[in-house]
């Protein structure tokens, strides 16, 4: 569908205000849309029902967050237990994964690689949200949720690779060559 109203580089916000398309609210909205869509790819690539269910819940949470921010709190809102749910899920996946390696080179199974891309898009969405928070009040719970979400997706990726018996490729840190020269 098109209206032609955006042909000159401006668009309407959810509250009806006309703004330039590079406005932080539109940047946030676009990045959120990209994240929800990328999570849809991650969902489609995944063969594990529990991970798929968790991805679907995150997509629903992100739609609610978008509505909350874009309507200035007049629409649906992030559920109160959203951050706790992410933290509980992170702990569940940590138990499954075992030892945590933070410098994982993304890849492995398609589902895990897609989840790593979702994690990276989440980080960008979080940066756009931090930028938007300089202009508009953002509920602290939403900022916390976005911060936890990237960690959650990291652990989902590790779980997907572990279940597929893929050994993660690690980036050695600190640089072992520098350590040997000391």
Please state whether the predicted TM-score (pTM) of the whole model is above 0.95.
Answer: no
Distance from C-alpha of 178 to C-alpha of 181, rounded to nearest angstrom: 5
**Other CB atoms within 10 Å distance of the CB of residue 157:** 29
Query: 119: buried, middle or exposed (CB in 10 Å: 19+, 13-18, 0-12)?
Result: buried
- Looking at 1.20.1200.10, 3.40.50.1860, 3.40.50.720, 3.90.25.10, the CATH number of the domain 10-181 comes to 1.20.1200.10
Of all residues in the chain, the percent with pLDDT exceeding 70 is 95
Of all residues in the chain, the percent with pLDDT exceeding 90 is 69
Q: Which of 19-33, 36-50, 79-93 has the lowest mean pLDDT?
A: 19-33
Give yes or no for residue 102 having a pLDDT over 90.
no
Give yes or no for residue 134 having a pLDDT over 70.
yes
The tokens for 68 are 């909350």
Higher pLDDT, residue 99 or 181:
99
Domain ranges of the chain: 10-181
């Amino acid at each position: 569908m098109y209206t032609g109203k955006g042909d000159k580089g401006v668009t309407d916000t959810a509250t009806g205000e006309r703004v330039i398309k590079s406005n932080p609210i539109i940047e946030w909205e676009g990045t959120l849309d990209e994240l929800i869509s990328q999570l849809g790819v991650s969902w489609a690539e995944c063969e594990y029902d529990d991970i798929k269910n968790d991805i679907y819940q995150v997509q629903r949470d992100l739609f609610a967050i978008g509505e909350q921010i874009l309507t200035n709190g007049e629409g649906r809102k992030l559920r109160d237990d959203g951050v706790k749910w992410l933290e509980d899920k992170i702990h569940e996946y940590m138990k499954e994964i075992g030892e945590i390696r933070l410098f994982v080179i993304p890849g492995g199974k398609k589902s895990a690689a897609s989840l790593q891309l979702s994690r990276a898009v989440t980080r960008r969405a979080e940066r756009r949200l931090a930028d938007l928070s300089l202009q508009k009040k953002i509920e602290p719970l939403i900022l916390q949720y976005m911060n936890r979400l990237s960690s959650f997706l990291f652990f989902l990726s590790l779980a997907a690779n572990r279940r597929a018996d893929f050994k993660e490729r690690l980036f050695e840190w600190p640089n072992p060559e520098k350590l040997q020269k000391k």
